Structure 1
């Protein structure tokens, strides 16, 4: 891996932390240190906010669409030119299996940057409402869309390039300036994005900044500083709730993409075994560390034992492998903290009366590993069916018909994703229409794409990422009226 050591990007300059301090970056597959990240100080974060504010208020970035298009195309090309290094870095830092690089790991988010740049070239920022005479005054009205301003983009560790670009791309395209704060478990890929901006684009100084503080206290100013106009956060529901509260006194715009406990429903006329196998496979991807992964399998009661057995056999065939192995589906979890968290849930499964059809333990080897696990014998009121685990753990739950399946799927604080399978497409669509969730796969359809809005209902978040809706999250609406 030939990626340069990570540095902050503040006001157009690649730099170490202000006081020179660093913290280790670990490879989750081995537990070994692979680099040192700059531990950004409060002064570094303040300087990044000031630079972003100044760039928005004083540079041409917010008004010059042609400049934004040119710079974003430069960044897209730089990502393509450095793709191999980016992929290798992601596998090493995140523990993400290589097969994911063709999807959410790298290729889709890079394509998403191109997609939003193409959108920018054709987007109509002004709409003519025509002439009317409100209150007897003949007026021509125009609706204009303008950038929100300075955006704090706060991103998690699980799919960092996807989520970094899903925020940074639309925000920059809209004309906003950005301070990107990645998770301290995965700062390197964010710093590499900053390096590409600094070295391969004409993006003006201060328009894009990257800071990597390890301390939440240092980062918390991103939610409270009045110079920031919007916080765009992806992560846990608990942290999202705290960010929303912190942003309330300054009434910032807040975008939240939060947790999920998505349900895969097999109706009684579906190929239940195929659904069970596919859902078990999905629950293993990247060790289950995806907010939209289906982690509840809801199957007809009279097919329950079959579904459990197929899911268990599928997971056993997948296993947990080195993410550098070309055949790896399930790699490590990100950290010791996350492994301990998953282990606590597995212990709770037994306490609540569940059994393991396969797995159920952490793996005692270097790095942070958990066995792919199928939990049987629990109902939807159990902790494992209600809370997001973020590990390779699938809970299988029986249902007694379509109405019961919908009830179980909706009996969750979350509403991010899910799937429905039936022998009848119309029946599957009818069930899908009743499920309160932001994305749904119906009979195997794939919703994940740069042009498709992604986000959730209920405690899964506020707003949408990707698609036109994701771009427009970073715009304000201004209505102008002129004498006609």
Structure 2
């Protein structure tokens, strides 16, 4: 197995991808990429500098004119070819993600399938970019609107979904005719480098996609953001970093889309199907080891069913197998870093010290790797940090409510507004509560809302803009109005 893993790592480029060429970082600096399950170093890759960022933006700017003029069908066919090749290599991409990020291999392969769908979806949208033609109300003018690419775009992607968060941005940009500079997270850069090589292989022209790996994200990205050649910034990550990036982008009034933090409520009403609710809770909580902005962060359960729901959830969580995600039978891999694991444990410790009780889990295991056991907390007081902060780990805090109005008020009592989940068999209640929830997405009787054919994004401090769906490509298009006199 070790030989197989090493052979796979050796197929991944370890340089920067700029202007269609694989090049070393300025000065030749490198950094190590490690396996969070073992702490072992997987490989060393180029550590880009601000000068490398400038080179990448120059390449994107130089390629923009020709790329925007490329026929939509060709852009779509490149994306379709990328979808097919990525699907064909799902095993390799899945294993690569597991090695650098930790998620169980089956889940990593699921991310490949999900991520590839963005290429297929936007391959079909590339040929459906259109404006409109209308007669002005006065009748003496014709109103024409045209859609065109925004232009060179900086994409900053996170470590938790190394493939899908890339394809969700790259797909619509290619379809719209935008060139790109991608800066992946330094914890998980290998998947993006492999994706860059795949897009090169299917014929994406030089300079359309540029990949800069670096440990100096701020130093590399800020000069790009303030460069007048850049026209758009898209970021997925924490709200704190997102606010800084929006401030930097304000000088140029860049087009900006932000997919930021979350604090998702998971509401279980008294008329819910508890079997479905527990199944949904496992999906909403344990997807990606809980390291997801869509992860259920607060379980609000009606008093009449809270004990039974908590018992069933604890049984399911406690039955999961924790270990190296590359191994057979493992359900839950490690968290991304020791800092991340310690942060999760601090939230659990704070809740327990305030009166909560850990029904299962709650202790850091011995041994190498950054593992944390699936944990269910009950009797959690409203003052606990675990209800106010994004957990980003396999911890499910449960509290109770007595009325629909109370559930809605408590669900909305957060600065964030990415996703909410609700379980109820009452049709009127589902509509009523969905309308009242202040979130960009609502999952009804399901623990998964993400779908390439649907708009993904939040409100309040969870950001703005949408990725996926018909709306996703609009983030990469500008509208031009042409008034034509008769």
- Fold shared, TM-score > 0.5 on shorter chain: yes
Partner of 2:163: helix, strand, or coil? helix
Residues in 1 aligned to 2:298 and 2:157: alpha-carbon distance in whole angstroms: 25
Q: What is the deviation of 1:223?
A: 2.9
Alignment partner of 1:358 is 2:360: yes
Q: What is the deviation of 1:100?
A: 1.8
Alignment partner, residue 129 of structure 1: 134
Alignment partner, residue 267 of structure 2: 265
Partner of 1:160: helix, strand, or coil? coil
- Quickly say closer, same or farther: Cα 1:190–1:79, change in 2 above 3 A: same
Deviations 1:251-291 (A, max 9, x none): 11110001111111111111346524541453223220111
Partner of 2:304: helix, strand, or coil? helix
Alignment partner, residue 227 of structure 1: 229
2:53 pairs, out of 22, 27, 45, with: 45
Alignment partner, residue 120 of structure 1: 126
Q: What is the deviation of 1:321?
A: 2.8
Alignment partner, residue 166 of structure 1: 168
Residues in 2 aligned to 1:32 and 1:461: alpha-carbon distance in whole angstroms: 35
Give the root-mean-square deviation of aligned CA atoms: 1.8
Q: What is the deviation of 1:413?
A: 1.1
Alignment partner of 1:4 is 2:43: no
**Counterpart contact for 1:266–1:421, Cα < 8 Å:** yes
With 157-166 and 443-452 compared, the bigger mean Cα shift is at 443-452
Residues in 1 aligned to 2:315 and 2:467: alpha-carbon distance in whole angstroms: 35
Partner of 1:260: helix, strand, or coil? coil
1:31 pairs, out of 39, 63, 75, with: 39
Residues in 2 aligned to 1:147 and 1:8: alpha-carbon distance in whole angstroms: 25
Alignment partner, residue 142 of structure 1: 144
Alignment partner of 1:244 is 2:246: yes
Residues in 1 aligned to 2:180 and 2:387: alpha-carbon distance in whole angstroms: 37
Q: What is the deviation of 1:125?
A: 2.1
For structure 1, list consecutive stretches of 5 or more residues without a partner in the other structure: none
Partner of 1:473: helix, strand, or coil? helix
Partner of 1:47: helix, strand, or coil? helix
Alignment partner, residue 65 of structure 1: 72
Alignment partner, residue 27 of structure 2: 19
Partner of 2:436: helix, strand, or coil? coil
Residues in 2 aligned to 1:197 and 1:435: alpha-carbon distance in whole angstroms: 40
Residues in 2 aligned to 1:124 and 1:35: alpha-carbon distance in whole angstroms: 42
Residues in 1 aligned to 2:98 and 2:226: alpha-carbon distance in whole angstroms: 34
Residues in 1 aligned to 2:447 and 2:386: alpha-carbon distance in whole angstroms: 27
Alignment partner, residue 461 of structure 1: 463
Q: What is the deviation of 1:51?
A: 0.7
1:312 pairs, out of 311, 314, 331, with: 314
Write out aligned runs for 1:185-334 (5 A): 185-198=187-200, 200-221=201-222, 222-272=224-274, 274-276=276-278, 278-280=280-282, 282-334=284-336
**Counterpart contact for 2:61–2:152, Cα < 8 Å:** yes
Alignment partner, residue 103 of structure 2: 96
For structure 2, list consecutive stretches of 5 or more residues without a partner in the other structure: none
**Counterpart contact for 1:321–1:331, Cα < 8 Å:** yes
- Quickly say closer, same or farther: Cα 1:429–1:228, change in 2 above 3 A: same
Partner of 1:363: helix, strand, or coil? coil
- Quickly say closer, same or farther: Cα 1:430–1:109, change in 2 above 3 A: same
Q: What is the deviation of 1:63?
A: 4.8
Deviations 1:300-355 (A, max 9, x none): 12333333222222111114232123433321101122112212222222333322
Write out aligned runs for 1:415-430 (5 A): 415-430=417-432
**Counterpart contact for 2:418–2:459, Cα < 8 Å:** yes
Partner of 1:302: helix, strand, or coil? coil
Residues in 2 aligned to 1:388 and 1:335: alpha-carbon distance in whole angstroms: 16
Q: What is the deviation of 1:92?
A: 0.9
**Counterpart contact for 2:268–2:301, Cα < 8 Å:** yes
**Counterpart contact for 2:18–2:207, Cα < 8 Å:** yes
Alignment partner, residue 86 of structure 2: 79
Alignment partner, residue 452 of structure 2: 450
Residues in 2 aligned to 1:376 and 1:160: alpha-carbon distance in whole angstroms: 33
